[in-house]
Amino acid sequence: MSESLSSETVTLTLEARAHGWRLDHYLTRLYPNYSRAAFQKAVEQGAIQVNGVSVKAGRRLKVNDHLSVRLPEAADETLPPENIPLEILYEDESLIVINKAADMIVHPGKGNYRGTLAGALQFHFNNLSDVAGKLRPGIVHRLDRDTTGVIVIAKDNQVHGRLSAQFEAREVTKEYRALAWGEVKFDSGLIETHLRVDPRNREKMQVCEPGGNSREAVTRYEVLERFPRATYVRLLPKTGRTHQLRVHMQSLGNTLLADSLYGGRSPVMVNDVLPRGANRPADASRVLIERQALHAFRLAFKHPMSGASMEFEAPFHADMQQTLEFLRTI
């Protein structure tokens, strides 16, 4: 970490998902281009306070704690711009709304520093918020690598803060569309669980009992169409936990198509979705989709500066569209 600290103080209010986290762990997760050791040193220098008081790096945080953070002048790493095409749904002086492609990580992490949405944003836009660090320019929220659909980007820190506040207060309406294996039993319902990291595979989440490091997760679902071996569903998450929708559909016994991490076969071919006993067509081995069939279809929020209600819908990408269209023919 640079010995000099920024003269600008970043103020944060702790969100519910981080309740109980260590201060240094939380800041490292929020600003991944700084090391944990860098934040521990900043704490020792008095550059980070909680509720106006200097604390230790291991201090356990609580919901609504107020953090004041002075970051180093130079980050540990930089993010190179990448000329990756983006599907822009909307842009004004405050924000950008994008239909994210599949196989695109939102921001770098775990050695994945190329081919990210963050790198593409650096190339295409001159001004983006940096409140979340140089590896997350403009990034207010995230989607999984292979989840497509609507994502909103902030152009400055004030916009970023106001959008983040809407997400934290659950004032943002998020609607996803998904294709799941099998027959979803009920036409609609509410899934209420707690989730935690799977101790046997830390890339996965699992349903668990309340307590410990678990977090409440709530999803409303509605069946849109039924097919012989799959179901088309609308998913309305009330919370925003990692892999929430994928785990919740698995908990119903209806893993998403092509979601190999949670037990769904991938890729999905024509033959896989045909009714049992159906004649095998000439194109039976044609691949329909190779990644989880999950799409962030709609996002609604208030404009962070004008307060006007805004709503955006993202069209399906080709793989999910062709899968849905084929299912409608059988």
Q: Indicate the residue type of 135.
A: L
Q: Which of 81, 251, 245 minimizes the C-alpha distance to 175?
A: 245
The verdict on whether omega for the bond into residue 32 sits within 30 degrees of 0, i.e. cis, is no
Please enumerate, as own/partner, the contacts of 108-114 that have beta carbons within 8 Å and a separation of 24 or more: 108/32, 108/79, 108/135, 109/32, 113/77, 113/79, 114/82
* Marked catalytic residue, from 24, 65, 144, 156: 144
Q: Which of 266, 271, 270 minimizes the C-alpha distance to 255?
A: 266
Q: Which of 10, 5, 2 minimizes the C-alpha distance to 133?
A: 10
Burial state string for 94-122 with b = 16 or more CB within 10 A and e = fewer than 16: bbbbbbbbbebbbbbeeeebeebbbbbbb
Backbone angles phi, psi at 120, to 5 degrees: -65, -40
Distance CA 274, CA 281 (A): 10
DSSP at 43:
H
144 catalytic, yes or no? yes
Distance CA 63, CA 53 (A): 16
Catalytic residues: 144
